[in-house]
Structure 1
Amino acid sequence: MAEERLIIPKKISNRFLMMIGLGLVLLVAGIVLMMIAGPAHHDAHGAAAATGHHATTWYERFLANLWLNNVYFTGIAIVGVFFTAVQYVAYAGWSVLIKRVLEGLGYYLPVGGVIMLLVFLLPIIFTGHNPLFHWTDHSLYEIDGPNYDPIIAGKSGFLNIPFYTIRLVLYFASWIFFAWWLRKQSVAEDLNGGLTFYDKSIRISAMFLVVFGVTSSLSAWDWVLSIDTHWFSTMFGWYVFASWFITGLAATTLTVIILKQNGYLKMVNANHLHDLGKFTFAFSIFWTYIWFSQFMLIWYANMPEEVTYFRERMGGYEDHYTWILFTNLFVNFVFPFLVLMTRDAKRQMIMLKLVCVVVLFGHWLDFYLMIMPGTLRGDSGFGLIELGTALTFLGIFLNRFTKGLTEASLVPVNHPFLEESIHHHV
């Protein structure tokens, strides 16, 4: 079987760099405008809410956007590794031709790890606490102090800066290690053939899935749930995983289509697209199921400490987030459900591309809705800072992803199930 090497034209690489450059320019412009206007500045979509909290500064908005985008793109990257591992332990044959796309996604993880560590630790080093995480404020733990918070103090065994930092490093260290280990076997299999590397990949994948089962939930609690420190949900780990997974599937499907339209992945056919379409369709419904289950249980229990989360997002801060919540449900459930319902739609590139682009934006909005109310409260918006940060991260992600795609053949030439994948039919 002939190798298929992806060559990224210089102009495409330059576009990614231009995207990063434009993103940084917009970001700086947004920060300067906010500094000129003062901390009470809001763009056209963000109205000030009389919440009793101080007005958000450019610094807090900048940090929140860094955190939002890094959590989002880190999720896409780790799903690449997760889905690869699932294919191995399931002895799946259909997915062999798209395997290198999944492996490429994981190349963002080292960058994501460094950014995550810096965004968490630098504010603490320079100012003593991180404004994204209320629990990093030392005064909350002083028993006789005016800011003492018994609920947060009760969680200090888990939510404390040293332990949090150790966990953050361990998540990324384990994920990067397994991504590297699986990739190493995959490339060695290309060179040497045989079943040795395939068998070893199955064992590595089984170990990774156990690690991921624990770290995916813990990281969701640490990176997103701990922003709303008083609130808790037993389903939150599943919720973040569902959002990550459908985003990773959409990114994979979109990449496969773009590569095929540019003359690569010649052996990928409508049946592979159909399977990717089914996964995208199914896990859009799965995400909605988790969303509704969490919402319904909290609404039905009607406990004050539980319902605050949804009150902030439905009607809170003068309806600041209400439209985003309903838009979120439409673009992440109603739209993919209706568009991908038929068999034909799942086999048409134009339909799949449309759904994937909408889902990728929709779940960025989902993470926006998870992170912004607890950090910026009623002072968030969609302005130059948001656009600039998102463009910068997208450029960095695409730069790392395409590097992963170019470093090995797009077709795993000696994979034992390659023939099965080439003749895949559903």
Structure 2
Amino acid sequence: MAHHVEVVEEQYVFRSETRKKLFMLLALGVVFFILGLVFAMNDSGHHEAAHGGGHASVAEAQKLVASADQHGAASEGHGHVEAGGEHHEKPLWIRRLFTTLWMNNVFFTGFGIIGLFFVAIQYAAQAGWSVGVKRIALAMGTWIPLAGILMLITWFVTNHDIFHWTHSSLYDSKGADFDPIINKKAPFFFWPLAGGTFPLFYIGRMVLFFGLWYYFFLQIRKNMVAEDLEATNAYWYKNRVMATVFLIFFGVSSSIAAWDWVMSIDTHWFSTMFGWYVFASWWVTGLATITLIAAHLKSAGYLKIVNSNHLHDLGKFCFAFSIFWTYIWFGQFLLIYYANIPEETVYFIERMRTSPYSWIFYLNLILNFVLPFLLLMTRGSKRQLSTLKLVCPIIIVGHWFDFFNMVTPGVLKHEGGVGLLEIGVALIFAAVFLLVVLNSLSKIPLFGKNDPMLQESLHHHI
């Protein structure tokens, strides 16, 4: 029988040096952002020249689309040109700014909800190994309310420039812009109101999802804090129930959020695997973030209860779910490739053959599958802090590119690209996210001294 080990409670101190580094990162992001915005404003002449680079591919996509018999397929092609050439379109630099704000916010929202999802999984599975890292994931959940506020504000500012379906002319059956396919999807966005009015159902879902995610986060955190003060298992059982209910809600809400916030940008196109695909990308990014923070805390002398066995488990998660993401990616791609239906293939043709996105399309597979697979393949590599500190940022950056390619082509067509503006916004988000998370982490002990699973975690060996 394992003997009882006494442990000393640990508190993370958010030191001024760490704060300073994050503010420097924030300042760098702001500088990149301003320079990127200036370059984007002056870049209007360049993108005209670049039109030729991606135009053949877009034309090819349109040709494929037009060749379909169904009216829907033809109007998909029309929609792609129409959205790009509407008379009240904003300048390119504004659309680039809106697109990168939306894309980064959707990407970072994943960090918050996956943090909470990770905690819930540990309770529902009665997992013992994760006591030392559970509160890192919990701290990530602090981002949820901020992400929700940002999402609502960004949506109201950018909706017509990002979401083609928000234009009321598409729902006027007598108008020249009438789109029968988008009109049939109107109830999904506008119910109970008429198509082309205010998307009450859509905004209602957004508010409900963030509201309930934040509610579950507050309840689970409250029980974890209470457990520190009272040596009873009652709070652990409460959290098991709370986690189970959250996981059921999360299964539905995360898929619908993916359809709403990402898939509806390409309104004609759809994939039945898309909810899984976005979840897989969010999940492995969240795991990499938890692992990276744990590795840095361990290097700084914290988390004495976390040993190479726990690191091995985190490394296995990153390894396994990088493969899972690739499986979902390949499944979605293969089905669409094999069926070869024009209104489906246009999505991949835009991304594979259009100049600003094609290199990202292939880089995506290298950063998110090839490198994690090779670098984390051996047992020893998963147990090394240095390897984990190398692989986790690769996964996080890789999935940033993944979200970039999910969002940008549908909005900017062949005028998109990764420049200082996009990198600047990403750095600003990363710096603010880390400031919020590390501040939250310093508020409560790094692990629960009364957690009923603590002894199991201390004797965890693989």
* TM class by smaller structure: over 0.9
Residue number among 422, 444, 454 corresponding to 1:408 in the alignment = 444
Structure 1 distance, partners of 2:163, 2:24, is 33
2:291 is aligned to 253
2:461 is aligned to 425
Structure 1 distance, partners of 2:323, 2:42, is 45
Structure 2 distance, partners of 1:174, 1:145, is 40
Structure 2 distance, partners of 1:243, 1:185, is 29
2:416 is aligned to 380
Q: Is 1:201 the counterpart of 2:245 in the alignment?
A: no
Structure 1 distance, partners of 2:16, 2:388, is 28
1:356-403 deviation per Cα after TM superposition (whole angstroms, max 9, x unaligned)? 110011000100110111011111112121111011101110011101
Cα drift, residue 353 of structure 1 = 1.4
Q: Scaled by the length of structure 2, what TM-score is found?
A: 0.87
Structure 1 distance, partners of 2:348, 2:279, is 19
1:157 is aligned to 187
Matched length: 418
Instruction: Report the residue type matching 1:35 in the other structure.
Output: M
Residue number among 128, 132, 139 corresponding to 2:169 in the alignment = 139
Structure 2 distance, partners of 1:109, 1:46, is 39
Residue number among 152, 159, 178 corresponding to 1:117 in the alignment = 152
Assess if the C-alpha contact under 8 Å between 1:66 and 1:389 holds in 2: yes
Q: Give the secondary-structure state (helix, strand or coil) at the position aligned to 1:413.
A: coil
Structure 1 distance, partners of 2:43, 2:129, is 55
Higher RCO, 1 or 2 (CA under 8 Å, sep at least 6)? 1
Structure 1 distance, partners of 2:329, 2:21, is 37
Assess if the C-alpha contact under 8 Å between 1:285 and 1:333 holds in 2: yes
Residue number among 216, 219, 227 corresponding to 1:181 in the alignment = 219
Residue number among 357, 375, 378 corresponding to 1:321 in the alignment = 357
Cα drift, residue 350 of structure 1 = 1.2
Assess if the C-alpha contact under 8 Å between 1:45 and 1:382 holds in 2: no
Structure 2 distance, partners of 1:46, 1:179, is 46
Larger radius of gyration: 2
Q: How does 1:282-293 map to 2 (within 5 A)?
A: 282-293=320-331
Assess if the C-alpha contact under 8 Å between 2:357 and 2:417 holds in 1: no
Q: Give the secondary-structure state (helix, strand or coil) at the position aligned to 1:209.
A: helix
Q: Scaled by the length of structure 1, what TM-score is found?
A: 0.95
1:249-289 deviation per Cα after TM superposition (whole angstroms, max 9, x unaligned)? 00011111000000000121000011011111110110011
Distance verdict in 2 for CA 1:177–1:393, change over 3 Å: same
Residue number among 18, 23, 37 corresponding to 1:17 in the alignment = 23
1:71 is aligned to 106
Structure 1 stretches lacking a partner, 5+ long: 124-128
Cα drift, residue 47 of structure 1 = 7.7
Q: Give the secondary-structure state (helix, strand or coil) at the position aligned to 1:185.
A: helix
Instruction: Compare 112-121 and 378-387 and name the one that shifted more.
Output: 378-387
Q: How does 1:25-174 map to 2 (within 5 A)?
A: 25-38=31-44, 40-42=45-47, 49-50=54-55, 53-54=84-85, 57-123=92-158, 130-160=160-190, 161-174=199-212
Q: Give the secondary-structure state (helix, strand or coil) at the position aligned to 1:130.
A: helix
Cα drift, residue 29 of structure 1 = 2.4
1:54-110 deviation per Cα after TM superposition (whole angstroms, max 9, x unaligned)? 496111100111111111111011111001111101111000111110101101111
Structure 2 distance, partners of 1:142, 1:44, is 36
Structure 2 distance, partners of 1:47, 1:420, is 62
Structure 2 distance, partners of 1:324, 1:27, is 21
Instruction: Compare 234-243 and 141-150 and name the one that shifted more.
Output: 141-150
Residue number among 338, 357, 366 corresponding to 1:300 in the alignment = 338
Distance verdict in 2 for CA 1:46–1:304, change over 3 Å: closer
Structure 2 distance, partners of 1:377, 1:107, is 35
Q: Give the secondary-structure state (helix, strand or coil) at the position aligned to 2:264.
A: helix
Q: Give the secondary-structure state (helix, strand or coil) at the position aligned to 1:158.
A: helix
Structure 2 distance, partners of 1:215, 1:329, is 27
Instruction: Report the residue type matching 2:169 in the other structure.
Output: S
Structure 1 distance, partners of 2:119, 2:404, is 27
Instruction: Report the residue type matching 2:221 in the other structure.
Output: R
Q: Give the secondary-structure state (helix, strand or coil) at the position aligned to 2:189.
A: coil
Assess if the C-alpha contact under 8 Å between 1:34 and 1:41 holds in 2: no
Structure 2 distance, partners of 1:207, 1:98, is 22
Instruction: Compare 252-261 and 11-20 and name the one that shifted more.
Output: 11-20
Cα drift, residue 48 of structure 1 = 5.8
Cα drift, residue 17 of structure 1 = 2.6
Assess if the C-alpha contact under 8 Å between 2:36 and 2:420 holds in 1: yes
Instruction: Report the residue type matching 2:410 in the other structure.
Output: G
Instruction: Report the residue type matching 1:10 in the other structure.
Output: S
Structure 2 stretches lacking a partner, 5+ long: 1-6, 59-80, 191-198
Q: Is 1:243 the counterpart of 2:281 in the alignment?
A: yes
Instruction: Compare 21-30 and 93-102 and name the one that shifted more.
Output: 21-30
Q: Give the secondary-structure state (helix, strand or coil) at the position aligned to 1:95.
A: helix
Assess if the C-alpha contact under 8 Å between 1:45 and 1:381 holds in 2: no
Structure 2 distance, partners of 1:320, 1:313, is 8
- How well do the aligned residues superpose, as a CA RMSD in angstroms? 1.8
Distance verdict in 2 for CA 1:252–1:33, change over 3 Å: same
Question: Percent of pairs identical after alignment?
Answer: 49
